[in-house]
Amino acid sequence: MYGKSEQRDDYQSVPRPLAAMARDLPDGHRIPPHHHRRAQLIYGTTGAITVVTGHGTWVVPATRGVWVPAGLSHGMSCAGAVAMRTLYVEPRPELPREPTVVSVSPLLRELIEEAVRLPVEYDREGRDGKVMELLLLLLAPHPVPALHLPAPDDAALVPLCAAIERDPGATWRTGEAAALAHLSPRTLQRRFPAATGMSLARWVQQARLIHAVTLLAGGAPVTSVSGALGYATPSAFTAMFRRALGTSPTAYFASGR
């Protein structure tokens, strides 16, 4: 559609500080873990994107993007059809060195859409160069509340966290979770926050939210999502969603469109 390469390796050594690539990806598409020399903003104008790194998991709808520092290994998957617009930025000392979620304003969105239309070796002194300069100015990531699931740095908790991710709608009581981790309940309550930065209950809620956003982005109705996550009624699920993300599930995705 844009007449440009869809191969990330073709954007790592271009003689410009910023390169923009567009790819349209189907529902369920997965990109295996990889890394590259440039920093990256991963953004989709439709659907939702899940990005996984050694630091944890992030899920973003169309109003958010994931900032991935240069050299950091990351993989991703799509929920719903994703029109991915990704920026590759030449490393600079002032850029964040940790992955984070950033807000994509309407202006930034339009600049990203324009950037993917421009030639890779755009005229730095002309109109195209001014567009890219403005984009770089606005690109400075400002972290926003995120659907982030931190990875545990305690090996004893890895199987437990993997089990929660596989079935976040289950009832994860402390005693059952502790038994799965081969720990006492008191030890689990001490080690889980130390390893993840969250209590077990908060981590389970984040896992449920991430699963919910993934299902909703794929077109599942609120009624089926609430049931899949163990909520007695859709209104109970919507109340939890609103408390966590400040808006209803319907409005959360409508704002992105």
Confidence at residue 256, expressed as pLDDT on a 0 to 100 scale: 45
CA pair distance 72, 97, nearest whole angstrom: 9
Helix (H) or strand (E) holding 80: none
Q: List the chain residues with pLDDT less than 70.
A: 1-3, 140-146, 253-257
What is the Cα 5 distance to its own chain's centre? 24
CA pair distance 44, 71, nearest whole angstrom: 21
Fold annotation for 152-254: Arc Repressor Mutant, subunit A (1.10.10)
CA pair distance 256, 51, nearest whole angstrom: 18
Q: For residue range 30-69, what is the model confidence (pLDDT) as tens digits? A: 999 999 999 999 999 888 899 999 888 888 887 788 999 9
Confidence at residue 160, expressed as pLDDT on a 0 to 100 scale: 96
**What is each CA distance from 235 to 28, 79, 153, 239, in whole angstroms?**
28, 23, 35, 6
CA pair distance 143, 243, nearest whole angstrom: 19
CB atoms inside a 10 Å sphere around CB 140: 11
CA pair distance 89, 23, nearest whole angstrom: 17
Confidence at residue 118, expressed as pLDDT on a 0 to 100 scale: 95
Confidence at residue 47, expressed as pLDDT on a 0 to 100 scale: 85
Q: Which residue in this structure is represented by tokens 């990109």?
A: 31
The domain ranges of the chain are: 8-139, 152-254
Fold annotation for 8-139: Jelly Rolls (2.60.120)
DSSP 173: -
Look at residue 109 and give its three-state secondary structure.
Answer: helix
CA pair distance 99, 78, nearest whole angstrom: 18
Confidence at residue 9, expressed as pLDDT on a 0 to 100 scale: 93
DSSP 218: T
